[in-house]
Structure 1
């Protein structure tokens, strides 16, 4: 029927094997093929039962992140599970390897389940501000009770199928993976011989102790302390599983899951997860032969966080002795490591060079920015990217020489220059910083500049601004004026803020005319970040819009639930951002005059991440 689904008839049992790289994700085509197979099995007198299994290393990792779960294609995951659950022929799931998200929903919709003892079950939706759907919140607690079901759904952790609390999920647990399929076929025929069993279509064993169920729900409610979000939605759905018949509980879950999928937080987190996956596919990884890195040399004062991550990933460290053998050297100062092995230069704070392979770490944000110069050794780039993935760091590729300061520093510099322009226009530093916090930034730029020291900021921005076509701090601007008065930052107690022991107090802005009507500090800073990100894309500093959002998370400390400046531009409507830019351009054309790529996207009806009507929203 389709390349995503293998079909074999074996003695009256239709065996359906999910077969799609990567990880048998339940894409719309596969869901449609499964629904059609259920219909065919129902109408085929020779078919007595159905077994659903997974080809390759696992059963199914669930849904493809690239699918818009706020408006999933038909058949939806819930529709697929309804088709499986309502099939008049018994359906048995044969599980091994990874069984995650909608993959577990599919397994629970079947009337029977056989699993390998080492199968790994998980419901990762909560980590992306989503809630498990397609029947999970109703069927799982009905099978194993509220306490175990809530622990699995709210933790998102992987659990092994042979855990005692999961025993009620399975008809049989096999120690040998090769025996799972045959055992599932035997069970399917046995269920066909026995005839329909209502307990399999609407299980209630997890509801057998109503008071224990209610205590588990109450304990989680007390822990949440009235907080909303995905966890509260999951709790309400699990509570409904005890109060409503299964059909009505499934309807309730579907409404809650759809609302949750449409939430800004869930969309933003899914966007960043998808962006991380796409950014990881560096072009060098497609062209260079894989080179194993088992031992890494660290030359110079390499941050302890990097060494800790590498050791946790099972990488041996050679220390800083050039005489010790290593597959790859990471050096703080170019030339410190041996000439023979693969070499990477670690940015120690001054930015990248113009060529070679450079590494900038944002360990708190879990990001590694890899600077790649013209003619850089592709094998070194690919090996470094794989090494960073082993160290559980997302990767963004920045092209040199345009990205010589580092993409994160370019974006930070633009934010600082925009903040100075707003202070010069008459906003007080506190108002500018509140605008930054409203965007989801961890710290306001004026307070951050005070912390860095205004002399240092002046030198940094003077060197960086010309690289992105922005004006450097002028001799008459906010920085120079404060430095001239001795207000050099937090170290001396005065900068943009006064810094008494009880905490910073914002000072006044310059005697400017203020911002255009209807544009606030948050909108102005956002417009500057979007314009700078567009410049980076046009100049080839970054390859994808999602890369800019990942860099913003790391360099600016932007909250992940905001999705990044370009996601936020799509979400608000790119035309609205364009209007702000045009209104702000008289304050500083280099900062806010719209880049050609922005007007082109609007003209073509495109956002940064999808074709969307949002570009025309006011």
Structure 2
């Protein structure tokens, strides 16, 4: 290679008559201001260089360009902005070829769409996932993509945020050819030389007309996407703007369409949803910043034991098998073990049936599974997870056995939802090796893992819990020891607030509708029916002796449990589930029980608006979350947000309860709590942390930085 060498974030070198521009901005070649500036300068210089006949864009390292530079989020953009760079690439008088390998996402794909020709290697992943951050592709992506692949395919790509493989991108018409091998530079040079030999000229996406030639059909596709958004992406802001931008691509000349896209992009940028989604994105990256990971390294993690083959144990085993690790499952007898094995096999059979994995892949995963009825089979496991019934005595018995058989240095974990991890650790001689790993059900699907750190848990034990989460592709959040840790402790309180509203006059169906109206996929009573009412009932009975007699106790959920109405699994709970229905219908008998309970408790029912329900429900959640922070159970407000986004269905576009509280103003949340305290001071006690923040004019976000 010769000439034009410089060592910027994008550097150019001539290979005979081809100018190779390499994007070199580790770790993923994100489109920083420096990358945009260097890329723009190199494309500009090539125009007047008589020795350059074509330009090749290539990414250094493992990716082409993974998208925008997240370090620049929230800052005013520096010139040149990405839409201008894309337009400049497209306007080049010399053919521009992009060779895609690894991630070609967001702005990275928009750069490629502005190039005149695209070649992808087998490793390439193409996508426009801006919708996940409350945005739309704002550098011509909404205008060029439909021109290349049609309105329906473009909308599907942008509204789902999904990634296309190289083959799928070729089939769709997003790339022109697939390159051989894994060397992006040599594949790109070979293809560019072929194009030059054929006398290829610049071929601009803006001029592509075939995919949108049938304008009526394209508009019908956009209308169908608009209906889909209204139905399934309820409450989200940017999807409707994406549909509007694609409609502009169909109806308007290209330059006018770009102006429409820009205006819609700026509207999305300004929306509270974008702020919430970006907060969620960063909050998930912050959860691994914990003191223990600075002090200790993860221990060896080559094999995992699971005690218990129920729904939870089987789900955990599937998660671990999916990560490529061998699993030994221990159950009390052959029949129970067989049921556990059947649950695991059923999960994989269903995945094969749905075409998610091949039969060979299922067999390979099941081959890593071993079952046993003796604890001695766990003597070689590096990490053992107990997943038995939520009962302290049962768990103490299991840990005494694990203490007997586990090899030195093995990590012992309890998958408890509420119980005291420190007390469980007393059944062993090495409490430093014990921690809580609270998986959420179904464990092979839910992303959240609360890593519960006991008083004696060693830093390298905690690091091993986080390493397991990484391998299982789960989001780990550090939690301290208390009844319910972060999520279930807060859940118990806002569920109690809901129960009090139910006794005071709102039906469970009104409450569920209001919570869905806020953006949750389901309300608390639908959730209780799905999880099974017996779990919460057992917890309430366990806590009965320590319950504060001054705090009101609503007996309605217990009344249903006493009748054996535990939700979906028994065919009725708060709702009726005839013939195994997944969606419940309202039950007049439940409303009659509630009326009886109101009479017994001498409550005169009153009306609640949807807003009343939402404000009380969220105020209870935020107040208890502030207590969890105040007591050091969670390290930072953003960790509480991640717990609720990943484990409890809190609407992602609201950013989590702490971010949401900041967005409405902590003063207004505190005022709601104080107003409720006038009628029930025992339950509605303002958190000292919340009071402190309001008095000092600070918010929860100020504690994230601390």
Taking structure 1 as the reference length, what is the TM-score of the superposition?
0.80
Post-superposition CA distance 1:336-383 (Å, at most 9, x none): 333215223223444241263111111354211110124423333333
Q: Secondary structure at the match of 1:298?
A: strand
Alignment-derived partner of residue 472 in structure 2: 391
Q: Which residue of 1 aligns with 2:213?
A: 210
1:564 pairs with one of 646, 652, 656: 656
Aligned to 2:143: 138
Q: RMSD value over aligned CA atoms?
A: 4.5
The 1:380/1:423 distance shift into structure 2, 3 A limit, reads: same
Which of 536, 548, 552 is the equivalent residue of 1:477?
552
1:233-312 to structure 2, matched below 5 A, reads: 233-291=241-299, 293-301=301-309, 303=312, 304-312=314-322
**Local SS of the residue matching 2:64:** coil
The count of corresponding residues between Structure 1 and Structure 2 is 595
Mapped contact 2:219–2:250 kept (Cα < 8 A)? no
Q: Answer yes or no: is the 8 Å Cα contact 1:125–1:131 preserved in 2.
A: yes
SS of the aligned residue for 1:94 comes to: strand
CA distance in 2, matches of 1:562, 1:544: 18
C-alpha separation in 2, matches of 1:123 and 1:36: 25
Q: Does 1:381 align with 2:381?
A: no
Please point out which of 614, 635, 649 is paired with 1:543.
Answer: 635
Describe the shift of the 1:599–1:166 C-alpha distance in structure 2 as closer, same or farther (beyond 3 A). farther
CA contact under 8 A between 2:102 and 2:125: conserved in structure 1? yes
Tell me, in whole angstroms, the C-alpha distance in 1 between the residues paired with 2:663 and 2:197. Answer: 51
Find the partner of 1:180 among 176, 182, 185: 185
Residue in structure 2 matched with residue 347 of structure 1 by the alignment = 415
Counterpart in the other structure of 1:323: 377
Deviation at 1:106, TM superposition (A): 1.4
Farther-moved stretch of structure 1 (588-597 vs 245-254): 588-597
Give me the whole-angstrom Cα distance separating, in 2, the residues matched to 1:350 and 1:168: 52
Q: Secondary structure at the match of 1:395?
A: strand
* 1:430-478 Cα shifts (integer Å, max 9, x gaps): 57666555544533479959945997565455578xxxxxxx4426834
Asked if 2 retains the 8 angstrom alpha-carbon contact of 1:413 and 1:461, the reply is no
Judge conservation of contact 2:575–2:587 (CA < 8 Å) in 1.
no
Indicate the residue corresponding to 1:504 in structure 2. 590
Contact 2:170 2:178 in 1 (8 A): no
Any stretches of 5+ residues in structure 1 without a counterpart? Answer: 465-471, 613-618
Going from structure 1 to structure 2, the CA distance change for 1:476 and 1:390 (only over 3 Å counts) comes to closer
The question of 1:122 aligning with 2:127 is answered yes
The secondary structure found in structure 1 opposite 2:58 is strand
CA gap 1:436/1:252 in 2 versus in 1, 3 angstroms: closer
TM-score by length of 2: 0.71
